[in-house]
Amino acid sequence: MSSDVLVDIDDNLDFLNLPPYIDEQVQKRVDAANAKGCVLRSIASIDVKSKSVQIRISEVPNHHAFAVSPPGCSCVRFFTRRHERYPLIIQGPSAGADSTASALLAELLQRTRGVSTPRSLALIRRGSSGAFLHNKHSNSMNGNNGIL
């Protein structure tokens, strides 16, 4: 395990009963970030060209858009050719931590594989709350044949 990894995750890990040393390690990272004028945030990065996804806990300065987003809000920055120097930032209320995290992770994984599923299409059409109400009888693909 590298020094940045707190615990190896496998299918059998019980997140409600994590080893106590993890709390100690996380607190050390929080304290180190605070000493630098930073906070820790969970950040996902997507490289469209290489179709790679990276999710990590990173230090961000206290004035950064990710640091000042209120609890319950999502914040996304887009770096494009037009927005190279100053990224486009979208911030707003999320559907809740559990549904947002699971929907975002599912979408990221599907995008890196180049696959659209009925659930990801429902997320795109109706937002995350609509996708959780989605059932097999209401999926009509709306004529897009799964191509986005």
- 121 CB neighbour count, 10 Å cutoff: 21
**Phi, psi at 50, each rounded to 5°:** -90, -5
pTM of structure: 0.53
Higher local confidence (pLDDT), 34 or 9 = 34
pLDDT tens digits along 82-124: 888 888 888 877 766 666 677 777 777 777 676 666 766 666 6
Q: What's the CA angle centered on 113, arms 110 and 115, to 5 degrees?
A: 60
Q: What is the pLDDT of residue 35?
A: 98
